Structure 1
């Protein structure tokens, strides 16, 4: 009897809280999703009247203004973050349905000289300028890979490798986001002033603008051909996260091993067998939306997507991008940008200019301008 009571008491002890149900999760997303959808509708309409600016740019500007002056409450946060991340990734997959794998491979291969050149400028320039400006080493590394590869995604992957502090990550992301917005607003205008073709602008945007959302927004604002080309170039460039993260992981592991060897009495080496190894976070390094993009391209290559679907899918993809950028704008806090400080911002600004200029110079040198 005692055992039964004991069992009953044990069974009746407080259990772990149940996982939130799917309907409850959807309800939490709805307010933010509804607002980003409404902004995207307004931005798309404005974009038809001012095509040089385009719907995506209007979306992020409206979002930033609303966040600054109306300060929407936290009830919107879940939906706006979902828009800025998941809907953006889904938009890339949708846009992949209009590109065959042959196009993807040819564009990616053709862009390699410019892409690798700009990556070298970002990484080497970040290292040298970071030292000259006395920027913290980890912050400099994060800004360099963010500028050279793919903005916040690269920063997230590298953070998991080098184990950077949250405050340093915030500095880097604030810096990168500042120049993401600048690129979306400035690049299309500069492209028209320079008389760049759709091909040249797509290659410029794909190799010089750091974040995927900003590349897509700027390139599709310039034109649909520039957008399609820029997306493929950018996704090819995103794959550079893999070798860079592996190299950094090996560097960090080697540096920590040497530090443990030099520690008095072996330090923590005795408890760790003398070595410290850090696993490479493959799930973060290889984004799932790239796989989805390639699958969509493969379906288009084999004729599984009818030609009559291409125009509606293209419109849907651009609208989703506008919705995602609206969410990014709503999530923007000017105080976060200010907290980045002047030295990281200066480093990010110089790299922003250097990478953009080197992309154009490399295009001219390789005959792709």
Structure 2
């Protein structure tokens, strides 16, 4: 017992230090001058240099905060404009989802990746990153290791996309409409889509958010198909209810003037929540998480991401 007391005492200051640094960094991300890339970078620094004090709660907190922030963004959008944006991205959505699913199946077989891991990475790339993985995991009865590898792959590439896409868009002089459509289809998670688009402009943000959430609805038919594919008849299918709340928020903002007057305050809070969610995503990408992904799953994720990003970009530029 006498040997354990110094050990415990030496650990407590370290834990308190991590908690204080983590909370200070999180509060900093709520400041209006801190953008999405800075929040993500702070999270990565936290994961690699200090350590996350609450790793067991990080994924769930990110999940709920992201969904609440997306619903809040709906109060800043007009239903008519969003409907037009959704129609423009419909064909892109069908073609890109189908192409990625086919390529994901082929690369998974070629690299001899575990079937469920490969399927989750493919679905996350094709539809909406971590949300798709979270929805499909119970349907196909994926194990914790398979889910962790898929989420790690997607989150690492998400972090890269948030920094790379705006730079490419500006270099190629993409319009806001082009950039919004491109990042909605080619970036995995809604958080990174909104983070990248918000840097580009309000029109890019509107198109990107609407197309991305319309794309996320494909979780429903894919979940049904997955249950048949993996012969999981008793699996529970999780519906993305937050998309319905986003649509409701958009309708309230468009047709109820009292709500529209409050909309700027709500959207400001939603953007702060989104920035904080990117900090949480970065803080979850510890060296342990990155090592756990492995070479082959990461290679598959990079190939699928490069395919959808390049193919979509060339198509958008060609059609323009």
State the TM-score, normalizing by the size of structure 1: 0.76
Q: What residue in structure 2 maps to residue 328 of structure 1?
A: 281
Give the secondary-structure state (helix, strand or coil) at the position aligned to 2:76: coil
Q: Deviations over 1:160-208 (max 9, x none)?
A: 1111222111111111111011111111101111111111111011111
The answer as to whether partners of 2:22 and 2:46 remain within 8 angstroms in 1 is: no
Deviation of the 1:72 alpha carbon = 3.8
- Aligned-partner Cα distance in 2 for 1:249–1:307: 41
- Aligned-partner Cα distance in 2 for 1:296–1:36: 30
- Aligned-partner Cα distance in 1 for 2:24–2:191: 19
* Structure 2 residue corresponding to 1:207, chosen from 180, 185, 189: 185
Are 1:340 and 2:296 counterparts? Answer: no
Q: What residue in structure 1 maps to residue 48 of structure 2?
A: 68
Q: What residue in structure 2 maps to residue 350 of structure 1?
A: 303
Q: What residue in structure 1 maps to residue 27 of structure 2?
A: 38
The answer as to whether partners of 2:129 and 2:189 remain within 8 angstroms in 1 is: yes
Aligned ranges for residues 1-369 of structure 1 at < 5 Å?
34-35=23-24, 37-41=26-30, 44-45=32-33, 47=34, 55-74=35-54, 78=57, 80-81=58-59, 83-253=61-231, 277-279=233-235, 281-282=236-237, 284=238, 286-305=239-258, 307-364=260-317, 367=319, 369=320
- Aligned-partner Cα distance in 1 for 2:141–2:259: 46
Deviation of the 1:129 alpha carbon = 1.6
- In structure 2, relative to structure 1, the CA distance for the partners of 1:194 and 1:39 (3 Å cut) is same
Deviation of the 1:294 alpha carbon = 1.0
Q: Deviations over 1:109-134 (max 9, x none)?
A: 21011111211221111111222222
Give the secondary-structure state (helix, strand or coil) at the position aligned to 2:87: helix
- Aligned-partner Cα distance in 1 for 2:292–2:59: 21
Q: Deviations over 1:8-50 (max 9, x none)?
A: xxxxxxxxxxxxxxxxxxxxxx9899546413145x42x4xxx
Deviation of the 1:103 alpha carbon = 2.5
Q: CA RMSD in A?
A: 2.3
| Structure 1: runs of 5+ lacking an equivalent | 1-29, 48-54, 254-275
Give the secondary-structure state (helix, strand or coil) at the position aligned to 1:332: coil
State the TM-score, normalizing by the size of structure 2: 0.87
Give the secondary-structure state (helix, strand or coil) at the position aligned to 2:293: coil
- Aligned-partner Cα distance in 2 for 1:90–1:63: 20
- Aligned-partner Cα distance in 1 for 2:20–2:216: 32
Deviation of the 1:311 alpha carbon = 3.5
- Aligned-partner Cα distance in 1 for 2:79–2:233: 37
Deviation of the 1:245 alpha carbon = 1.1
The answer as to whether partners of 1:121 and 1:358 remain within 8 angstroms in 2 is: no
- Aligned-partner Cα distance in 2 for 1:181–1:115: 22
- Aligned-partner Cα distance in 1 for 2:24–2:100: 36
- Aligned-partner Cα distance in 2 for 1:197–1:121: 25
- Aligned-partner Cα distance in 1 for 2:240–2:44: 27
Q: Count how many residue pairs are aligned between Structure 1 and Structure 2.
A: 302
